[in-house]
Amino acid sequence: MSTTTSARRAFDTLIAERGLGFGGDYNPEQWPAEVWREDVALMREAGVNLVTVGVFSWAVIEPVPGAREWAWLDEVLDLLHAGGIAVDLATPVASPPPWLGIRHPETLPVDRDGVRLIAGSRNQFSPASRVYREHAAALTRDLAERYAQHPAVRMWHVGNEYGQIDHGDEAAREFRRWLRDRYGTIAALNEAWGTAFWSQRYAEFEEILPPRRMPYLVNPTQSLDFRRYSSDQLEDCYRELRDVIRAAGATQPITTNFMGFHALTDYWSWAGEVDVVSDDQYPDPASADSPASIALVQDLMRSLGGGRSWVLMEQAISATSWREHNLPKSPLRARRDSLQAVARGADAVCYFQWRQARAGAERFHSAMLPHAGADSDVFRGVVQQGEDLRRLAPVAGAGIQAEVAILFDWPSWWAGEEPARPTERLSTLTELGRWYRELWRRGVAADLVSPASDLSRYRVVLVPHSYIVRPSTATALRDAVGSGAQIVVGAFSGVADENAHVLTGRSPVLLRELLGVSGEEWGAVPDSGSALVFDESWAAGRDVEAPGASILAERLRVDGADVLARHADGDLAGVPVLTRHGVGDGTAWYLGAIVDDGSLSALIGDVLGTAGINSALGGRAEMLPDGLEAVRRGDVLFLLNHSDRHIDIDIDIAEGGTRVDLLTGEKTDRTVGIAPGDVRALTERRTW
């Protein structure tokens, strides 16, 4: 058994022993020792069973170079262990002490304008700096050797939210090394970067720099490769420390906290390196869309882990303090956010942070134990959540079955958002979110897939916007349609190859045969939009008011596909927008413009219906009442009411069975009522 497999098993064992994980970042070094006992007592009262310790404690452990101040940490770990609270021990490498940057300025990152960043905040390290890496590794080695066998330590947390970028000289050297590995020769690099354009040809690798401040537009492939390199460099930082922890004899699972769709880290590449996927999530209480948007992130986390359960490592119990205007969350909302994560595959829900800071930049960021203390609605809400999570223990480890896949790829996102495109208004994440929302509103489960994923088990594959489509992805999509799947490809997909070079010929070059449609020009749509008309047979029964296209449209011609909608007037009058091409038992749909929500909804509804996809409620994937989220994890049906109205919904109950709400212990009828903001977790039981 490989270490990763056994370490993953150790995580599952922890959850099996203690129930779903519940807790948060715990920073005892910011408080006098007298407070620690009260912390442990209140954690126990709240049912906290997992805390992350030491994330920002480097300067406390190593106040001067080479020092090791362990006494406080020994005491904290012993106290937590005595209290039955498991520790996710952090390598405190995200914020080096000021002395490191003073003595070794090359450890500090340099931004694209050549400004070297200084200590006094956090994250002031260059992932490329050898000296930083040596200091971080030495500290991690000593930490792991000291605590690998400590009974409190059940998990390791490397760094914090890896997402730093550096444009300095050491980064330049590392970037060149990375480019040599990728291309071998400078001629190959010149070819890949298209340096014949604007006289950018390089004679040797030594001439290459990271993209820094330049007079005008940057070479898009240079930018793309710098993003790839930066993600790989950070991943290497993580891997180096993970291996140091293992070498010290630690057998616990090792993780680092991801940040959803984070722009600097290609998590498809990282995911195989962590024993358990964990993520930090801060849905904005001010945004009505946040339940669907965060569900998408949660489905990404489950998908990154190959369907296994994941850890919600950080969230806010009430307000954050880093937004311009920070709305608090009610305890009801905070509870629903936590239960939503569990519904979507989390086996632990944790917060930033346990005790609210009284000093420092995050003094107004909410915490499980607020400034006001335990006599507060926030803390009473925390205690309630501890109770809820105990009741949900039966879902631990259970998975979610999805028959719908959505393609998402970091390099494609990066390349697709380089400047100087037909329009800068087209956003990969916005399109992804809009398409996903149509599934979410119908209670349809979906996996996120990468270009390398196996698509053969999906009945529907959605490609909302993938600027790069590789030949292997085109083959996988063709095979999926060949085996009967519905695939839907959105506008401006399959435009470029892996080097971000535009493919020549009628577009999308690698998919046009499969789609039975091809285009010759993409153009921005005027601000007034472009009205659409549906084909009569398709429009029947679809109630879309004023269908229209905006942002971007393509001049298309059908080559075998049926036309379901066309532009109604203007320059593109009569040009197809939505097409459907039957191929064997499957269908390839194409959307040659960014269309309004109603049209998109009609399209996705039709695709799901054609594929016979069911909702979590059991029947056909119909639209759920507004604000209701339905997801089935294992044999538990979660119903979350994100609205401020009472919702009644009919559910499937097998003959002779009944459904019991794990959260209340009550039996339900076929019609289930869900109060505003409430959550039901219904499990099926046979009564005979």
One-letter amino acid for residue 237 of the chain: C
Shortest separation between residue 76's beta carbon and ligand GLA, angstroms: 18
- Find the part of the chain contacting ligand GLA (CB under 6 A) among 206-214, 292-300, 314-322, 668-676: 314-322
Please report, as residue ranges, which positions from 349 to 388 form the binding site for ligand GLA (by CB under 6 A).
352, 362, 365
Q: Which residue from 106, 140, 139 is spatially nearest to 125, judged by alpha carbons?
A: 106
Say if residues 65 and 99 touch (Cβ distance below 8 Å).
Answer: yes
CA distance linking residue 670 with residue 4, whole number of Å: 44
- Find the part of the chain contacting ligand GLA (CB under 6 A) among 146-154, 313-321, 463-471, 638-646: 313-321
- Find the part of the chain contacting ligand GLA (CB under 6 A) among 68-76, 145-153, 315-323, 367-375: 315-323
Rounded to the nearest 5°, which phi and psi values hold at 318? -140, -115
CA distance linking residue 533 with residue 527, whole number of Å: 19
Shortest separation between residue 430's beta carbon and ligand GLA, angstroms: 23
Work out whether 280 is an interface residue with ligand GLA (CB under 6 A): yes
Compose the 537-566 pattern: x for residues touching ligand GLA by CB under 6 A, - for all others.
Answer: ------------------------------
Please list, in sequence order, all residues whose beta carbon lies within 8 angstroms of the beta carbon of residue 537, skipping any fewer than 6 positions away. none
Neighbours of 246 (CB within 10 A): 18
Say if residues 649 and 684 touch (Cβ distance below 8 Å).
Answer: no
What count of Cα atoms within 13 Å lies in the side-chain half-sphere of residue 679? 25
Shortest separation between residue 314's beta carbon and ligand GLA, angstroms: 4
Work out whether 279 is an interface residue with ligand GLA (CB under 6 A): no
SS3 431: helix
Rounded to the nearest 5°, which phi and psi values hold at 199? 60, 45
CA distance linking residue 272 with residue 229, whole number of Å: 18
Shortest separation between residue 74's beta carbon and ligand GLA, angstroms: 24
Query: Is residue 63 reached through a cis peptide bond, with omega within 30 degrees of 0 on the bond before it?
Result: no
CA distance linking residue 75 with residue 147, whole number of Å: 12
Shortest separation between residue 123's beta carbon and ligand GLA, angstroms: 10
Site size for ligand GLA (CB under 6 A):
11
In terms of CB distance, is 202 or 282 closer to ligand GLA?
282
Shortest separation between residue 163's beta carbon and ligand GLA, angstroms: 10
In terms of CB distance, is 341 or 510 closer to ligand GLA?
341
Q: Measured on CA atoms in the order 626, 631, 635, 639, is the torsion positive or negative? A: negative
Shortest separation between residue 361's beta carbon and ligand GLA, angstroms: 8
Shortest separation between residue 351's beta carbon and ligand GLA, angstroms: 9
- Find the part of the chain contacting ligand GLA (CB under 6 A) among 80-88, 179-187, 312-320, 637-645: 312-320
CA distance linking residue 542 with residue 601, whole number of Å: 10
Catalytic residue of the set 62, 161, 235, 403: 161
Residues in the chain: 688
Compose the 161-180 pattern: x for residues touching ligand GLA by CB under 6 A, - for all others.
Answer: x-------------------
- Find the part of the chain contacting ligand GLA (CB under 6 A) among 61-69, 316-324, 449-457, 611-619: 316-324
Question: Which of 88, 314, 337, 409: binder of ligand GLA (CB under 6 A)?
Answer: 314
In terms of CB distance, is 12 or 362 closer to ligand GLA?
362
Please report, as residue ranges, which positions from 646 to 665 form the binding site for ligand GLA (by CB under 6 A).
none
| DSSP symbol at 588 | E
Catalytic residue of the set 62, 170, 314, 418: 314
Work out whether 57 is an interface residue with ligand GLA (CB under 6 A): no
Task: Please spell the DSSP secondary structure of 517-583, one letter per residue.
Answer: EEEEEEEEPPTT-EEEEE-HHHHTT---SS-EEEEEEEEEEESSPEEEEEE-SGGGTT-EEEEEEEE
Please list, in sequence order, all residues whose beta carbon lies within 8 angstroms of the beta carbon of residue 201, skipping any fewer than 6 positions away. 190, 195
Please report, as residue ranges, which positions from 107 to 166 form the binding site for ligand GLA (by CB under 6 A).
160-161
Shortest separation between residue 320's beta carbon and ligand GLA, angstroms: 5
In terms of CB distance, is 161 or 225 closer to ligand GLA?
161
Task: Please spell the DSSP secondary structure of 176-206, one letter per residue.
Answer: HHHHHHHHSSHHHHHHHHTTTGGG---SSGG
Shortest separation between residue 160's beta carbon and ligand GLA, angstroms: 5
Question: Which of 57, 320, 587, 599: binder of ligand GLA (CB under 6 A)?
Answer: 320
In terms of CB distance, is 125 or 352 closer to ligand GLA?
352
Neighbours of 134 (CB within 10 A): 12
Q: Which residue from 435, 436, 449, 437 is spatially nearest to 405, judged by alpha carbons?
A: 449
Separation of first and last alpha carbons in the chain:
42
Please report, as residue ranges, which positions from 406 to 465 form the binding site for ligand GLA (by CB under 6 A).
none
Annotation says 324 is catalytic: no
Shortest separation between residue 673's beta carbon and ligand GLA, angstroms: 35
CA distance linking residue 251 with residue 231, whole number of Å: 26
- Kind plus residue range of the DSSP H or E element containing 587: strand 586-591
CA distance linking residue 441 with residue 638, whole number of Å: 14
Measuring CA to CA, how many Å separate 103 from each of 132, 173, 506? 11, 21, 58
Annotation says 145 is catalytic: no
Please enumerate, as own/partner, the contacts of 124-127 that have beta carbons within 8 Å and a separation of 24 or more: 124/95, 124/96, 125/93, 125/94, 125/96, 125/100, 125/164, 126/164, 126/166, 126/168, 126/170, 126/171, 127/162, 127/164, 127/166, 127/171, 127/230, 127/233, 127/234, 127/236, 127/237
Shortest separation between residue 365's beta carbon and ligand GLA, angstroms: 5
In terms of CB distance, is 310 or 352 closer to ligand GLA?
352
In terms of CB distance, is 39 or 447 closer to ligand GLA?
39
Compose the 229-268 pattern: x for residues touching ligand GLA by CB under 6 A, - for all others.
Answer: ----------------------------------------
In terms of CB distance, is 90 or 460 closer to ligand GLA?
90
Task: Please spell the DSSP secondary structure of 57-97, one letter per residue.
Answer: -HHHH-SSTT----HHHHHHHHHHHHTT-EEEEEE--SS--
Indicate which residues carry an active-site annotation: 161, 314
Q: Footprint of ligand GLA on this chain (CB under 6 A)?
A: 160-161, 280, 282, 314, 316, 320, 322, 352, 362, 365
